[in-house]
Amino acid sequence: MIESHPFISFKKNWRLGPNEWFQLGQCQATIKAITRTPISPAYRKKLYLVSLIKGAQATTAIEGNTLSEDEVEQIAEGKSMPESKRYMEQEVSNVLDALQAIRNEIIDDDRSEIITGELLRRFHRLIGKNLGKEFGATPGRFRKRHVVVGQVYRAPDAQHVNDLIDAFCQWSLKEFHYQKGQDFSTAVIQAIVSHVYIAWIHPFDDGNGRTARLLEFYLLLRAGVPDLAAHILSNHYNQTRNEYYRQLKSLQKKKGDLSDFISYALQGFKDGLSEVLKTVQKSQMEVAWNAHVHQTFVQFASMHGSRPVERRRKSLILSFLLDQEYAIDEIAAINEPIRVQYENLSRRTLQRDIDALQVMGLLKLDSQSGKYRAWSGILQGQMAHVRDSRILH
């Protein structure tokens, strides 16, 4: 600890109340549900790409990079931005590469390590690669000058950086005991606390926020958080950017008490994990729905027209998004293949197809909205039955 920054105490300066312990329990349960829900390799690959893009966009956007999620997706696909956005493209590309490298190291290679100064410098080299003079730091080198962050926070003097990082690494090893074994809660708290300590120490001239979030990502993956979800905290900080900075700023007034920041981070982590689980479960519902549709057509094959008619009706019902309702005019143009399919057919033919799908129990008309939706609710009968209790809701 140094006199100018007494809140950098390397002590357990936080308390977890019943709400925080409950959130940690929910996070762990949700992660178990995510990892135990089977999804197709193709869909898993798609979800991972989406999470990678969200993570890269979030961790650069919070530093002022204005590229949209669509533009980040283009970069991930190997496309180039206009010359005026080339620097931002390189920033995003570096983070994409860094996230992928960390993911491969921990998950594919099953290799992890404790926090060290060299690990932090390696992360910094990854995010500072090929950025040139516009990057206000030498990639991988701790700062040699004093810095003020946002004209608000004066980081510790440069002469203390090496000692502070060494103290942080030693304290992390003792406080969170990774080598001796960690439970899930300890690992998540370490990720959040480490993020704050890197922000406080500010060991580099530039790129500290990205390095802190890479470290957080690394520790969450190391703790067993799925690669589909390890970006969630970065996304939470970006989506609640004003609150994120307010929380960081208030820590000094609270003498470094991290309790409120941890609570804020855990709430975002829990909510983000719930969204990932919904997405994974939606994939499972779509798989089950497609199988149900095919089975239903086999059962009704002898009752409803010729094979071309069956194929047309099957392609129509499989084009419905499970969470949307459609007016009849919207159904005829639900997507391009369906529009082409019906463009030379009469409205009466479309209505007959819709009526047939209702008879088959695949389509349902909402009497209030007058719109149709795929009747995936029928699949609830195939799920485990439970008592309708408020305790479960």
Apex 37 CA angle, 36 and 42, nearest 5: 125
Per domain, the residue ranges of the chain are: 18-280, 301-382
Distance CA(128)–CA(276), nearest Å, equals: 30
Q: If you classify domain 18-280 with CATH, what class do you get? A: mainly alpha
- The SS3 of residue 114 is coil
CB 391 within 8 A of CB 348: no
CA distance 9 to 86: 41
Q: Please choose, from the candidates 174, 239, 242, 168, the residue with its C-alpha nearest in 3D space to the C-alpha of residue 199.
A: 168
Pair 58, 238: CB distance under 8 Å: yes
The burial class, CB within 10 Å (0-12 / 13-18 / 19+), for 36 is: exposed
In order of 62, 189, 290, 331, 369, the CA distances from 365 in angstroms are 45, 49, 20, 13, 8
Reported pTM: 0.81
Q: What is the pLDDT of residue 323?
A: 83
Of the candidates 344, 351, 286, 357, the residue with the CA atom closest to the CA atom of residue 315 = 357
Maximum separation of any 2 CA atoms in the chain, in Å: 85
> Per the structure block, which two tokens stand in for 333?
């143009």
202-217: string of b/e by CB count within 10 Å (b at 16+)? bbbbbbbbbbbbbbbb
CA-CA distance, 66 to 237, in Å (whole number)?
Answer: 16
Angle of helix 232-239 versus helix 208-222 axis, rounded to 10: 140
Rounded CA-CA distance 280/130 in Å is: 36
pLDDT of residue 302: 56
* Residues 169 and 115 sit within 8 Å (Cβ to Cβ): yes
- Long-range contact pairs involving 251-255 (C-beta distance under 8 Å, separation at least 24): 251/7, 251/196, 251/200, 252/7, 252/153, 254/7, 255/6, 255/7, 255/13
Q: Using an 8 Å Cβ cutoff, are 53 and 76 in contact? A: yes
Q: Please tell us whether the domain made up of 301-382 is placed in CATH 1.10.10.10.
A: yes
Residue 388 confidence (pLDDT): 40
Could you list the mean pLDDT of each consecutive 10-residue stretch along the chain, which spans 393 residues?
A: 88 96 96 87 86 92 91 93 94 95 94 95 96 91 90 88 96 94 95 96 94 96 93 94 92 92 97 92 83 87 70 92 89 91 92 92 90 83 40 36
